[in-house]
Structure 1
């Protein structure tokens, strides 16, 4: 992965960010353990979550590739344990980062609430991406043009 990719926002990254803002603020409103002192802090928290979860997804993809490439039962078990460590550890890392950056001004609750939040973030992101990537729309590298207008 090139460093330049991280410095330029792709339209899907902007959409992801807005989805994260909405989901995070819904969590703040409806989950008593998820707190943010204000909208600006929730915007910054959503940005931190976007960056952290992108890194987690890259790490997870590499671990899953290692799992699939493992030839021996011991290698499969070791890679499977590593997948579990990344899945569980990423939630702890997110909690730690939020605490480090925002202190008491933002709280994502505990392990269960942050797990629920991350699952909702990723499902919402996937749903919005799927919605925006309907047949007949163009995406970079697609072979079909835009639909004809009458």
Structure 2
């Protein structure tokens, strides 16, 4: 939510007509991001398990398709669900938004993980 609203405030091409729409868009982005991460992890497992050049190339191509294609899917999904009320700008702003979302996701997870050894 914070990342999306910062993008709305500072990136002119990212537009939401109101708080409720930005909240729903953030939820949609979170769900899409989590699904893309699951898919990406499955492709990475296939890439690591590949033993032939052809299999590695196919897995690497699949990883590229997931990485690039997910941005296009997000743009279409937002357009389908919210129409003209929400605009994420285009491929470059969505890519930057997704990178920021991934960074904030990782930072929050690091904050929430307890690295201290358990007392025995």
TM-score relative to the length of structure 1 = 0.76
Per the alignment, residue 79 of structure 1 pairs with 59
Q: How far apart, CA to CA, are the structure 2 residues paired with 1:33 and 1:134? A: 39
- Give 2:2's match in structure 1, choosing from 22, 30, 43: 22
Give the greater-gyration-radius structure (CA).
Answer: 1
Structure 2: distance between partners of 1:62 and 1:50: 19
Give structure 1 regions of 4+ aligned residues with deviation exceeding 4 angstroms: none
From 17, 31, 45, give the equivalent of 1:51.
31
Q: Report the counterpart of residue 118 of structure 2 in structure 1.
A: 144
- Which stretches in structure 2 are left out of the alignment for 5+ residues? none
Q: Tell me how large the CA RMSD over aligned residues is.
A: 1.2
- 2:110 corresponds in structure 1 to 130
SS at match of 2:30: helix
Query: 1: CA distance between counterparts of 2:96 and 2:38?
Result: 20
Q: Distance in 2 between matches of 1:108 and 1:38?
A: 14
Determine whether 1:99 maps to 2:54. Answer: no
Q: CA deviation at 1:133?
A: 1.8
- In the alignment, the residues of structure 2 paired with residue 124 and residue 96 of structure 1 have an alpha-carbon distance, to the nearest angstrom, of 23
Measure how far apart 1:123 and its partner are. Answer: 0.3
Is the partner of 2:51 in helix, strand or coil?
coil
Question: Aligned-pair distance for 1:144?
Answer: 2.5
Answering whether residue 21 of structure 2 is matched by residue 41 of structure 1, we say yes
What TM-score do you get using the length of structure 2 for normalisation? 0.95
